[in-house]
Amino acid sequence: MGLDEVRADWTRLGADAPLWAVCVDPAKRDGGWDDDEFLASGAREIASALERLDALGLRPEGGRALDFGCGAGRLSNALADHFDAVVGVDISAPMLAEARRLDRSGGRIEFRLNDAPDLAGLPDASFDLVYTDLVLQHLPPALAAGYVREFARVVRPGGAMVIGVPARERRTFKGLVFRYAPWPAIRFAQRALLGYPAPMRMHPLPADRLAALLAPAGARIAASDPYWGGDHWEHLRHYVAVDGGAR
């Protein structure tokens, strides 16, 4: 699977069911998300993440935030309440159209299409905070690794990152299916049985692997907190200090 397939799948998901595809909940299919409720879930997430950064002594005081894989702008809008400027990057044009529809920042969010395997359009050290949640697991591991290295490039020394990603499957039926079943069987089940507009891959990123990707850039995981209980994956939210090493 390459980036073309990722783009095709998320373009389809964004066109058919953007809010559901961002926060998958069977009860929210077919327009089940209310816009305000959807954005409020992002506001809660960002408030708790910033509180945690504060407690760790890592919270940037305003400045610029990058929301990688911004989808419909759920988190970008919330970041715009705390930062002077926000850039939301996504690979799916229909997702970005939805993000622009939901933009309540008064013009302080720039939504950008990026369908490259890097963030070449963004300068070095140009963000105080890089935030990403619910994105890297949908990418083949080599592509996810490349973006993590790019996060370390675009964040300024002394800045911070928050990276939300499942570390491993839980030993539930669904978790074990994702771990052991061949991808064509999972894709078939998602499309034919569950009615997904396009398949959604899941690739956990273990914390030690993430730490190894960050270390060469002088970035270290300061805390890894479990979040989102009762799921089939062990989701961790990693709070990353960027000290600035060799770039």
Ligand X SMILES: C[S@@+](CC[C@H](N)C(=O)[O-])C[C@H]1O[C@@H](n2cnc3c(N)ncnc32)[C@H](O)[C@@H]1O
Is residue 98 part of the contact set for ligand X (CB under 6 A)? no
Q: Please name which of 223, 237, 214, 224 lies closest in space to residue 155, comparing C-alpha atoms.
A: 214
How distant, in Å, are the alpha carbons of 39, 141, 203, 219 from that of 215?
33, 17, 21, 5
Is residue 69 part of the contact set for ligand X (CB under 6 A)? yes
State the nearest-atom distance from the C-beta of 88 to ligand X, in Å: 9
158/181 Cα distance (integer angstroms)? 42
Q: Where are the beta strands (DSSP E) in the chain?
A: 64-68, 85-90, 109-113, 127-133, 155-169, 219-226, 233-242
Q: Which of residues 132-151 bind ligand X (CB under 6 A)?
A: 133-135, 138-139
State the nearest-atom distance from the C-beta of 50 to ligand X, in Å: 15
- Per the listing, tokens 């060799």 go with 246
| Number of amino acids touching ligand X (CB under 6 A) | 19
Is residue 95 part of the contact set for ligand X (CB under 6 A)? yes
Dihedral Cα 184, 187, 189, 191, nearest 10 deg: -140
Q: Tell me which stretch binds ligand X (CB under 6 A): 85-93, 171-179, 181-189, 218-226.
A: 85-93
Q: Which lies closer to ligand X via its Cβ, residue 138 or residue 237?
A: 138
Print the binding letters for residues 23-62 with ligand X: x by CB under 6 A, - otherwise: ----------------------------------------
How far the first Cα of the chain sits from its last, in Å, is 29
Q: Tell me which stretch binds ligand X (CB under 6 A): 52-60, 88-96, 120-128, 203-211.
A: 88-96
Q: Which of residues 104-133 bind ligand X (CB under 6 A)?
A: 114, 133
60: which 2 tokens?
Answer: 């940037």
Catalog residues that contact ligand X under the rule CB under 6 A: 6, 10, 22, 69-71, 74-75, 89-92, 95, 114, 133-135, 138-139
